Amino acid sequence: MVLFGQKVEWGVLGISRLYYTMYEMDIVSKYEAGKYVLEGVPPDFEKILKEALRIRKGESKSYYSSPFKRRKDTLSFMWYMIPQFND
């Protein structure tokens, strides 16, 4: 269930790491890949990337007040990223 932070971090940073690996032909940490993707995504996805990076670092203060909004943003980001692999 994507309502839990660990799933948000896994989905958002996992797909970011795959993207980085494909385009840079290198392997970096999920955290570094998240920062890389954060530099190039539309502003609509900055919040969920920052949230995933926050979870990865173990920080407690969420960027979201609603777990349902966080879930929606996680899924939207992943659906946005999938077609990027075809470019």
**Per-residue pLDDT tens for 38-63?**
999 999 999 999 999 999 999 999 99
Cα 27 to the chain's mean position, in Å?
16
Asked whether the predicted pLDDT for residue 32 surpasses 70, the reply is yes
| Contact of 55 with 5, CB cutoff 8 Å | yes
| Rounded average pLDDT over 25-50 | 97
- Taking CA atoms, 14 is separated from 36, 41, 53, 65, 66, in Å, by 13, 15, 11, 23, 22
- pTM given for the model: 0.91
Cα 50 to the chain's mean position, in Å?
8
